[in-house]
Structure 1
Amino acid sequence: MSIEAHRCNVKNCTGLVVFENADFDMKNPDTIKGVYAYDDPTCNVCGKEFLVVPYYVVIDPEVEDDIEIIESACITEWEKQRNSNHVR
């Protein structure tokens, strides 16, 4: 069992959005409200609904103490760079 908790983002709400992620089918997420999602938990205080969605990040594996997620950039930034500098 692996339980996750996230703070609710409703102003002045002190609730938590809690869900178990051990049984997620990572290769075949459901479609919930038209979005690929693994679950649809609610805040335990205000009841607001949330979606747990697939998310990809790029990390720097050479950071020794922790995992560093590198900042994402817009694809148009890459296209402009490629067109002006011939960077791969």
Structure 2
Amino acid sequence: MAIEAHKCNVEGCTGHVVFENADFDLKKPDTIKGIYAYDNPTCNVCKKEFFVVPHYVVIDFNSENYESEILESACMSEVKRRA
């Protein structure tokens, strides 16, 4: 069992969004309310609904100190203009 907790982002709310991620099928997310998502937990205080969605990032990883930095994304039109 793997449980995740995230702080609610509703202004003034002190709650958490808690969900179990052990059984996510990472290759085939469900469609929940028209959105590809693994789950849609709610805040345990204000009850706002959230979505756990597929996401990926590109990182610069330093294997000497195990630190990483997320690279800023760029628009393809920007890349084509520079080429």
Q: Which residue of 2 aligns with 1:29?
A: 29
Q: Percent identity?
A: 68
| SS across alignment from 1:77 | helix
Q: Quick one: distance in 2 between partners of 1:31 and 1:4?
A: 21
Output the TM-score relative to the length of structure 1.
0.85
Q: Which residue of 1 aligns with 2:73?
A: 72
Deviations 1:4-53 (A, max 9, x none): 11111111000000111111000110000111000000000000000000
Change (3 A) 1:63 1:81: farther
Q: Quick one: distance in 2 between partners of 1:64 and 1:20?
A: 32
Output the TM-score relative to the length of structure 2.
0.90
- C-alpha deviation, 1:74, in angstroms: 1.7
What are structure 1's unaligned runs of at least 5 residues? 83-88
Code of the aligned partner of 1:69: I
Whose helix fraction is larger, Structure 1's or Structure 2's?
A: 1
Bigger CA drift: 6-15 or 56-65? 56-65
Larger Cα-atom Rg: 1
Code of the aligned partner of 1:27: K
Query: When the two structures are aligned, how many residues end up with a matched partner?
Result: 82
RMSD between aligned residues:
1.2
- C-alpha deviation, 1:63, in angstroms: 5.1
What are structure 2's unaligned runs of at least 5 residues? none
